[in-house]
A and B are shown apart, each in its own frame.
Chain A
Amino acid sequence: MRINIRQMADNQAGTITAVKVAGDLGQRIREMGLVPGTEIRIQGRAPLYDPVALRVRGATLTLRNNEADFIEVEVEV
């Protein structure tokens, strides 16, 4: 099933299938290692449920929910 990162639950894992944004934000997301084929796991969310923290390639990244919306992930149902 394909969903975006905002819809993922804490600790849920998946593989990025697409990053649907160009420009500054798109480049920022990609240069941090969030490109199609990358495995990610949701590490947690800030106290106000935004931003979200991800585990990627052995590091922890954070992004805001409205930024995470552009990242499509294939997850196990």
Chain B
Amino acid sequence: MQATVALAGNPNSGKTTLFNELTGAHQHVGNYPGVTVEKKEGTYNHKDFTLHIVDLPGTYSLTAYSLEEVVARNYLVNEKPEVVINIVDSSNLERNLYLAVQFLEMGIPVCIALNMMDVAKKRGIEVNAEKLSTLLGVPVVPTIARTGQGKNELMESAAHIVKEKRKFGALKISYGDDVDNAMLDMEKEIGTNNFLTDTYPARWIALKYMEKDEQILSQGKKTNPELAAKLEVTVKKVSSHLLNTLDTYPEAMIADQRYGYIKSILKQGVIYQKYDPNRLYSSDKIDKVLTNRFLGPLIMLAVLAVLFHVVFSYSKVPVGWLEGLFGWIGHSLYTLLPDGLLRSLIVSGIIDGVGGVLGFVPLIMFMFFGIAFLEDSGYLARVAFMLDRVFRIFGLHGSSVMAFIVSGGIAGGCAVPGVMATRTLKSPRERLATLLTVPFMNCGAKLPVFALLIAAFFEKHEAAIMFAITRRASSGALRVAKLLRLTVIKGASTPFVMELPPYRMPTFKGLAIHTWERTWQYIKKAGTVILGFSIILWAMMTFPMLPESRVAEFESGRQSLLGSVPASVSGELQSADKGSDRSGEALNLKKQLQSIDYAEAEASLRYSAAGRIGTALESVSRWAGFDWRTNIALIGGFAAKEVMVSTLGTAYSLGEVDPEESGSLSRTLANDPGWSPLMALGLIVFTMFYAPCIVAVVSIAKESGSWKWGAFAIIFNTLLAFGLAVLIFQTGSALGVLVR
């Protein structure tokens, strides 16, 4: 026998743990069609049946206010799973049954998993599963998801529902005379007109009209505008009557009555509580310290610093391995392949591209492991609680903090895991504003650029300037977030009403599955796109190639140089024994040859598409004092910010400069008449704010669910950065500050 089973339940009810227990490694993660809500599927085999299990997003209710709820509801209505397993936390039964009641109102086949029986027992709560089952009229199975206890019984009970083809009638609760009477009339009208009844039960449609459910209202308008208007009038009458007589709303009445129904059931011997439900448990005692007015923030700083350290320091080792591996592959292929375009494409385009994609993998794994630990343990909710007041000023949410810290709250972060860290944010507008602004933070790749410019122009004030850059980056990011929330992503803040779940030790299995899923998704989804882009960038900086005549010019320069020295010297240079000491003449010759190579590299870069774009943009970029060399470097920085340093090196005929040792380049810049401290300052600010690197842009597009936001990040950020750089350069020039 085969059937589809949907897992539904409140956040923190142990739904994901149960899903992992049931499906083990046989999971598939995707998205619900058209939205960024994650869809997890898996299979469970037992005895004579195979169940296809779908993990619905965790919700408290089935309104149309949040994406998760709409997704869960649409899935139930459109896909019609044979059974819905509703996981409820038995230590929190009353609140968890609120969702269960809504499933019963829909009249769909439900089976309740009475989860966390162990926690309930510890809290002196006893639940009579049989009694609850009799009163609700659906199977109720006690489970402990963390140990897997009861999972087979639960599945057997679900399979039983399928085999018996049991019918479930919709639960009818009285919502008070006014609402009830109006709903009876509405139900009749809906039934006789077949209004949306192909998809939903008639009473449920009436109920959703009473709750002013936007999704159903707009569907209704499309199907039968006349009847829809009539129904809305009825609801309006009830609303104004309730407001006048009881000072309440229909949806409030409905919620009250649902809780009343739950209470009446629990009272009939379903639950026995030894203690006052609001007594404090060890978790609350821990909270007295961890959210204490003075200690709380200090501990939080320490925890975040440790997280940052773990993510960025410990991941260095595997990142180093990967870099070494790709360096080795690149080098081997470089020596194996003949000189030419193919070698350049494979080594500089593909190997560097793949290396760039995979280089982030350890970082992403460590970050997701760390954040999953904080989230599953319950601490992340406390961080949001403590910091919400600060982030709300900028139109963000307390949970935004993680993304900002990871992206560069402490120097050396990275926006790619930062953008992905916004997944813990459930408020859509706040989430979008966060993921669009975290790339402004000081990531590790921008540091070599700043170091280069500071060394060239502000050596005396190095520490002070670096500190100022870090501070400006975060305050800039927050201000832009505010600006976006007032303009393109405007809208009221999403309600903060949130649960502080009891502290729990996360299970290693849960953390490992979570980390692996996210990392694999990054490799699979972002990886291919990023590889494509890095090949395009490589092509832009390679083609069109220098015409034959100019290549010949450089070659004849080399030949005449070689001809001008005695054959012994040139012979010495070409001798295979590279380790031996060379004479002064030979070294001199080598240097001269190298400078010709570098000049050729500069000429080809300028001749390439990127070079032409850089040159063409000069007329505009002059406003900020940038010449074509800087422009090319900025285009190169789009691949990864530290590439700016090596590209500038090539553009200044210094060869590819190692970002870690840019001394020669900084001396060149310092002595170049085209540069000034003022321009360097403008460039620092431009680098801070301009388009995120490709990897970050792709992550933004994937996380926001739309390429529109990826494009927005490129265009908006670059315009903002340019505006700031021009402002600095023009004001400084006018005032004669920092000029030569």
Query: Of A24, A29, A60, which contacts B500 at CB under 8 A?
Result: A60
Q: Does chain B have a CB within 8 A of A6?
A: no
A46 touches B255 (CB 8 A): no
Select the residue from A26, A33, A67 with max chain B CB neighbours within 10 A: A33
Q: How many residues of B contact A (CB 8 A)?
A: 43
Q: How far is the CA of A61 from the CA of B288 in the complex (A)?
A: 15
Chain B 364-420 interface residues, beta-carbon cutoff 8 Å to A: 381, 385-386, 388-390, 392
B496 touches A27 (CB 8 A): no
Q: Mark A24-58, 1 if CB is under 8 A from B, else 0.
A: 11111111110111110101101111110101111
Q: How far is the CA of A57 from the CA of B93 in the complex (A)?
A: 9
Interface size bucket, A side? 35 or more
A67 touches B497 (CB 8 A): yes
Q: Which residue of A lies closest to B63 (CB)?
A: A27
A59 touches B499 (CB 8 A): yes
Q: Mark B46-69, 1 if CB is under 8 A from A, else 0.
A: 000000000000001101010000
A58 touches B278 (CB 8 A): yes
With A33-B94, A39-B278, A43-B284 known as contacts, the answer to whether A61 contacts B63 (CB < 8 A) is no
B497 touches A32 (CB 8 A): yes
Q: How far is the CA of A64 from the CA of B249 in the complex (A)?
A: 22
Q: Does chain B have a CB within 8 A of A22?
A: yes
Q: Does chain B have a CB within 8 A of A75?
A: no
Select the residue from A26, A27, A35 with max chain B CB neighbours within 10 A: A27
A28 touches B499 (CB 8 A): no
Neighbouring A residues of B499 by C-beta, 8 Å: 32, 59-62
Neighbouring A residues of B259 by C-beta, 8 Å: 33, 35, 37-38
Q: Does chain A have a CB within 8 A of B91?
A: yes
Q: Does chain A have a CB within 8 A of B291?
A: yes
Q: Does chain A have a CB within 8 A of B98?
A: yes
A57 touches B277 (CB 8 A): yes
Neighbouring A residues of B123 by C-beta, 8 Å: 58
CB distance from A33 to the nearest CB of B (A): 4
Q: Does chain B have a CB within 8 A of A3?
A: no
Q: Which residue of A lies closest to B243 (CB)?
A: A22
Select the residue from A30, A41, A56, A64 with max chain B CB neighbours within 10 A: A30
A28 touches B495 (CB 8 A): yes
B255 touches A35 (CB 8 A): yes
Neighbouring A residues of B95 by C-beta, 8 Å: 32-33, 56-57, 59
Neighbouring A residues of B495 by C-beta, 8 Å: 24-25, 28-29, 63-64, 67
B389 touches A48 (CB 8 A): yes
Q: Does chain A have a CB within 8 A of B488?
A: no
Q: How far is the CA of A53 from the CA of B378 in the complex (A)?
A: 15
Neighbouring A residues of B249 by C-beta, 8 Å: 22, 26
Neighbouring B residues of A36 by C-beta, 8 Å: 256
Neighbouring B residues of A46 by C-beta, 8 Å: 291, 385-386, 388-389
With A46-B291, A47-B386 known as contacts, the answer to whether A26 contacts B251 (CB < 8 A) is yes
List of 6 A-B pairs having minimum Cβ-Cβ separation, nearest first: A30-B255, A58-B277, A31-B61, A48-B389, A60-B500, A33-B95
